[in-house]
A and B are shown apart, each in its own frame.
Chain A
Amino acid sequence: MTAQKENNVAIECRGITKRFGSVVANDKINLTVRKGEILALLGENGSGKTTLMNMLSGIYHPDEGSILVDGREVTINSPTDATKLGIGMIHQHFKLVEVFSAMENIVLGTRETLQKPKEMKARIEELSARFGLEIDPQEKIYNMSVSEKQTVEILKVLYRGAKILILDEPTAVLTPQETEKLFEILRRMKSEGNAVIIITHKLNEVLSISDRVTILRKGRSIETVVTSESDVHSLTELMVGRPVELSIDRPPVENRSEILKVVNLSIRKPDGALALNDVSFTINRGEILGIAGVAGSGQKELCEGLVGLLSVEKGAILYDKENIVGKTPAEIIDLGISMSFIPEDRLGMGLVAGMGMVENMLLKSYRSKKGPFVKTQPAREQAQRLIKRLEIVTPGVDTPVRMMSGGNVQKVLLGREIESSPNVLITAYPVRGLDINSSYTVYELLNEQKKKNVAVIYVGEDLDVLLELCDRIMVLCHGKITGIVDADKVTKDEIGLMMTGEQLQSESETEGEN
């Protein structure tokens, strides 16, 4: 029995420790993955999941501890070593060469020469068919959507014959449909006897895909549980270390008074395509308006159009009855409209990576002060306040934000916008990649703003959250509005349908058309 079990272990970590300067990212971590199993790795932002996986894939080298593959102790000094051991990793930030084709990326660094493109193409197509992947091998990476890029990453590791597949937050950037497709692929890998390690913050995904869950907290492996014996609450409690309330408040909207009215708005993308097509809606003070839609349906352009970053082709944006189309971003900020956008790659956008929190705060606030000099003291206090409020983990207010973990960077971005006490707060994907605890902190923050009579526009991906948090939900599809509905009178399925372009039945009836 024990002998058979031994044989069954694909990879094992024993007492792995990794330090970055004074930060102990991994502290004596133990982890076992079996063949033909999907193991979920769960932990808050900064708990050391990526660091641990990077050691398995040869990016980092552990300071202490040992790694066993197929029961033999191994040293993994480089990604090549990892590949030889059959370990393949799909990184949180894709490692693809943008100007290469999918095929070039897939064969890059392997022994096969480029001389026989036909054979390689055939092999890629065979792999694609086996695992149900769809990709055009000749397509350039920069022309691909995020999920296509991910498919290339998966093909890359499959092509190298990986038996142990590691995925670092693969679903953070996928739509629910794309996620389901990915899971289908993972289940196939599992049924072929491969081991899969997946990192995700979405607990419903953990419950649906994994066989076992290992929980990390502050760099330590806390426990490993069997998925079928756990639920959202037990997992959250293990992860956070204390029971957490998992419901989102929706305080009622007091007196609806309109603050922003968008009339027949059309916006073109920089490349000339129409991103928003004749969009009209209103938003009231003290209300959260959710915006749902498949990625790339015009959400980004809407946000950027509202704050003056993109020029408007046609239509009007009335803020307190005044048309703000044509105003500069600075003027719009002065009016009290503020935006925080978390892009798909979650880097940059609004913060200067090399600067610390204090300086990033100053970037937003210095304009309102007179004179050529900046005062750092208020910004410093502001930063400290945010750290306490939002439980931001950072060595100090002057540590470059680049060094902070993704979730904490997002908190800084959102926190800074809120500190400027806006009247309209536009926030896009604020919980992208955040762990569950931080996500709830963000929801609370937004609700607080709502209670302060701020109009909040929330562009989101998770339909469950949109339904719980928002007062009304506007659905976009290909730059058009397919419905604006009250969140408590609509189902997830109905929203899903609208996202694919179907007008809601009742609505089209009232319009008397279609």
Chain B
Amino acid sequence: MSMIIKFIVASIASGTPILFGTLGEICHEKVGHLNLGVEGIMSIGAVAGFMVGYRTDSFVLALIAAFIGGALASLLYALLTVTFMANQNVTGLTLTIFGVGLANFIGYYALQHSENGTLKLPENITAQMRNVSIPGLSNIPVLGELLFSYTPFVYIGIITALLLGYYYKRTKTGLNVRAIGENPAAADAAGIKVTKCKYLNICLGGGICGIGGAYTIMIINKGVWISDCVGGLGWIAVALVIFATWSPVKAILGSFVFGALRQIRYYMPNSIGISTAIYDMLPYAITLLVLVVTSVRMVREKSQPAACGTNYFREDR
């Protein structure tokens, strides 16, 4: 019993960085931009968050820096694809290579200049980002552990997802955003400021990805800087968008499933004796499976925004 609860708790935690990446990518795709640069954006968010945290000793400032770092990376992407009409796939892939490289470079530089050859976040921050315990609630048996025993990231992620879901479904701006992703020419003709709306949402998406990046370095790596800290989670996040059928709320569930896939190896009895390579492969194999299944059966409303992947130029025909 306690084992199962532990597994669930670990899965939820483990899915959280993916959740951020997925939410960020959804923000991109809702305005019709497929961004394959999530991995790079998360890396930039990670390094920005880490470095600011390292210098300022403030968790909140670190989070803000991670958001801004990610948003700036996406701003670059928006500049290239929205304004200069560069190919979205190529730009995204380039951004991945650039982002990961830049983060590693900055990290390497900082390591060179650190006193003892390692980079570790100060204790003050690590304390703040540890699991919050809410007096009273966290002590309820089972439920307390299941619901109120996480890092702040988990709560931020879930709240972000719910807010985004509300934004797209219930607000006027959300409707405009969806219209842009489906048919920018129609949105334009209806008087929506397409370019402005694209920039804002793409940058918002980048910022959310950036926080996911901060998670990888602060929680997964326990506040110690290493290179390639995002380690492929950005790619899973892109795939998870499809799993979540472009719904931020469903992304919560999806990310926890993927979190479970990443955790399952630690909760299997040793006697089964599955090679660890199989576990490593699991999330990717499921992603493939999901891609196949979802591409077979798709309701119009639940599929990718129709204009996703193509740039919009008013005078095009």
In the assembled complex, the Cα of A96 lies from the Cα of B187 at a distance in Å of: 8
Closest 4 CB pairs of A and B: A109-B190, A95-B186, A80-B191, A109-B191
Tell me if B90 counts as interface (CB < 8 A to partner A).
no
Tell me if A281 counts as interface (CB < 8 A to partner B).
no
Interchain CB contact under 8 A, A60 and B179: no
Interchain CB contact under 8 A, B175 and A95: no
Interchain CB contact under 8 A, B300 and A109: no
Known: A96-B186, A98-B300, A99-B301. Contact between A108 and B317, CB under 8 A?
Answer: no
Tell me if B39 counts as interface (CB < 8 A to partner A).
no
Interchain CB contact under 8 A, B186 and A113: no
B14, chain A: closest CB distance, angstroms:
34
Known: A99-B301, A100-B182. Contact between A108 and B315, CB under 8 A?
Answer: no
Interchain CB contact under 8 A, A142 and B300: yes
Interchain CB contact under 8 A, B191 and A97: no
Tell me if B297 counts as interface (CB < 8 A to partner A).
no
Tell me if A212 counts as interface (CB < 8 A to partner B).
no
Tell me if A156 counts as interface (CB < 8 A to partner B).
yes
Interchain CB contact under 8 A, B175 and A98: no
> In residues 48-90 of chain A, which contact B (Cβ within 8 Å)?
57, 59-60, 78-80, 83, 89
Interchain CB contact under 8 A, B191 and A110: yes
Known: A142-B300, A403-B317. Contact between A96 and B183, CB under 8 A?
Answer: yes
Please give, as numbers and ranges, the residues of chain A lying within 8 Å of B191 by CB-CB distance. Answer: 78-80, 83, 109-110
> Can you name 17 A-B residue pairings with CB atoms under 8 Å?
A59-B314, A59-B315, A79-B189, A89-B189, A91-B189, A95-B183, A95-B185, A97-B178, A97-B182, A98-B183, A99-B301, A100-B175, A108-B192, A109-B179, A109-B190, A110-B190, A113-B172
Please give, as numbers and ranges, the residues of chain B lying within 8 Å of A59 by CB-CB distance. Answer: 188-189, 314-315
Interchain CB contact under 8 A, A109 and B176: yes
> In residues 160-209 of chain B, which contact A (Cβ within 8 Å)?
170-172, 175-176, 178-179, 182-183, 185-192
In the assembled complex, the Cα of A214 lies from the Cα of B178 at a distance in Å of: 39
B31, chain A: closest CB distance, angstroms:
13
Please give, as numbers and ranges, the residues of chain B lying within 8 Å of A100 by CB-CB distance. Answer: 175, 178-179, 182
Tell me if B26 counts as interface (CB < 8 A to partner A).
no
Of all chain A residues, the one with the shortest Cβ separation from B306 is A98
Tell me if A402 counts as interface (CB < 8 A to partner B).
yes
Partner of B179, one of A20, A57, A91, A97: A97
Tell me if A104 counts as interface (CB < 8 A to partner B).
yes
Tell me if A114 counts as interface (CB < 8 A to partner B).
yes
9 additional contacts, CB 8 Å, given A20-B315, A100-B175?
A89-B189, A95-B186, A97-B182, A98-B306, A100-B182, A105-B190, A108-B187, A108-B190, A403-B317
Max chain B CB contacts within 10 Å: which of A83, A99, A140, A156? A99
Please give, as numbers and ranges, the residues of chain A lying within 8 Å of B317 by CB-CB distance. Answer: 402-403
Known: A114-B172, A402-B317. Contact between A97 and B183, CB under 8 A?
Answer: yes
Max chain A CB contacts within 10 Å: which of B171, B185, B306? B185
Known: A59-B314, A99-B306. Contact between A109 and B183, CB under 8 A?
Answer: no
In the assembled complex, the Cα of A32 lies from the Cα of B223 at a distance in Å of: 71
Please give, as numbers and ranges, the residues of chain A lying within 8 Å of B186 by CB-CB distance. Answer: 94-97, 105, 108
Partner of A109, one of B171, B178, B182, B192: B192
Please give, as numbers and ranges, the residues of chain B lying within 8 Å of A403 by CB-CB distance. Answer: 317
In the assembled complex, the Cα of A351 lies from the Cα of B112 at a distance in Å of: 59
In the assembled complex, the Cα of A286 lies from the Cα of B112 at a distance in Å of: 86
Interchain CB contact under 8 A, A114 and B170: yes
In the assembled complex, the Cα of A89 lies from the Cα of B191 at a distance in Å of: 12
In the assembled complex, the Cα of A187 lies from the Cα of B49 at a distance in Å of: 64
In the assembled complex, the Cα of A463 lies from the Cα of B315 at a distance in Å of: 36
Of all chain A residues, the one with the shortest Cβ separation from B305 is A99
Please give, as numbers and ranges, the residues of chain A lying within 8 Å of B170 by CB-CB distance. Answer: 114
0/1 interface trace, chain A 13-32, chain B, CB 8 Å (1 if under): 00000001000000000000
In the assembled complex, the Cα of A99 lies from the Cα of B30 at a distance in Å of: 13
Interchain CB contact under 8 A, B190 and A114: no
In the assembled complex, the Cα of A414 lies from the Cα of B188 at a distance in Å of: 34
Of all chain A residues, the one with the shortest Cβ separation from B190 is A109
Please give, as numbers and ranges, the residues of chain A lying within 8 Å of B185 by CB-CB distance. Answer: 95
B201, chain A: closest CB distance, angstroms:
16
B87, chain A: closest CB distance, angstroms:
14
In the assembled complex, the Cα of A159 lies from the Cα of B317 at a distance in Å of: 27
In the assembled complex, the Cα of A99 lies from the Cα of B301 at a distance in Å of: 6
